[in-house]
Amino acid sequence: DQQVKQNSPSLSVQEGRISILNCDYTNSMFDYFLWYKKYPAEGPTFLISISSIKDKNEDGRFTVFLNKSAKHLSLHIVPSQPGDSAVYFCAASALYGGSQGNLIFGKGTKLSVKP
Amino acid sequence: DTEVTQTPKHLVMGMTNKKSLKCEQHMGHRAMYWYKQKAKKPPELMFVYSYEKLSINESVPSRFSPECPNSSLLNLHLHALQPEDSALYLCASSQDGGYQPQHFGDGTRLSIL
């Protein structure tokens, strides 16, 4: 029973264009959402997060959008750069649902940015 | 550069061995975590320490024994592991257990013979 789903295993984008990575969740108790980037042989690197009281958070080239009614979030990367090529994980937590600290991860989307 | 340091990076051990994985952070974080990640799967939470006290144990077998000697260190003691325990073990820390992101180390790749 997957509570966090990333339905696209891979995504290929041209350098300079927008990358949009999508994530769906099923648990309505989730109130904190994060995106991580992972290179091979390294641990996940935190990118950006959003709490359920917001619908958008922006940090440089990265923007996360949250649609609570649809239980959907997305990560936009603009403009995409070849160094962004990595696996991107969506994660969620129910901080006030008794699961403090328990991040539930999606299976990841492999982003390839082509020069 | 990761601010969460895990040692060793790789570990091969037999099923009767006893070994320990170590994790260190100097960011002043008060929550620390152990995750297990199998190949082509997402990380799964094992333990959470909050202010040096074990706050979550996700039904992990007793052959895995966590220890938090102080606020900067987290150990995972291993004994009598099974081949299916072979995985990447990730340590993470956060400021506390609230709305702050967890920061991960690069992991220890564990192989059980």
Smallest CA–CA distance from B39 into chain A, residue: A107
> CA-to-CA distance for A6 and A23, rounded, in angstroms?
5
Residues in B whose CB is inside 8 Å of some CB of A read 2, 4, 6, 31, 33, 40-45, 48, 50, 55-56, 58, 90, 92, 94, 97-99, 101-107
Are B104 and A45 in contact (CB < 8 Å)? yes
Q: Are A51 and B99 in contact (CB under 8 A)?
A: yes
pLDDT, tens digit (0-9, with 9 covering 90-100), for B32-54: 999 999 988 889 999 999 899 99
Chain B residues in contact with A107 by the CB 8 A cut-off are: 40-42
pLDDT along chain B (113 residues), means of 10: 87 92 95 92 91 86 94 95 95 86 95 92
Length of chain B (residues): 113
Predicted pLDDT at A100: 59
Predicted pLDDT at A99: 53
Q: Are A6 and A106 in contact (CB under 8 A)?
A: yes
C-alpha distances in angstroms, A3 versus A43, A45, B91? 22, 21, 22
A101 → closest Cβ in B56, B106, B107: B56
Predicted pLDDT at A97: 53
Q: What is the pLDDT along chain A (115 residues), one digit of tens a residue?
A: 789 999 999 999 999 999 999 999 999 999 999 999 999 888 999 999 999 999 999 999 999 999 999 999 999 999 999 999 999 999 999 876 555 568 899 999 999 999 9
What six digits make up the tokens of B96?
């506390």
Predicted pLDDT at B100: 86
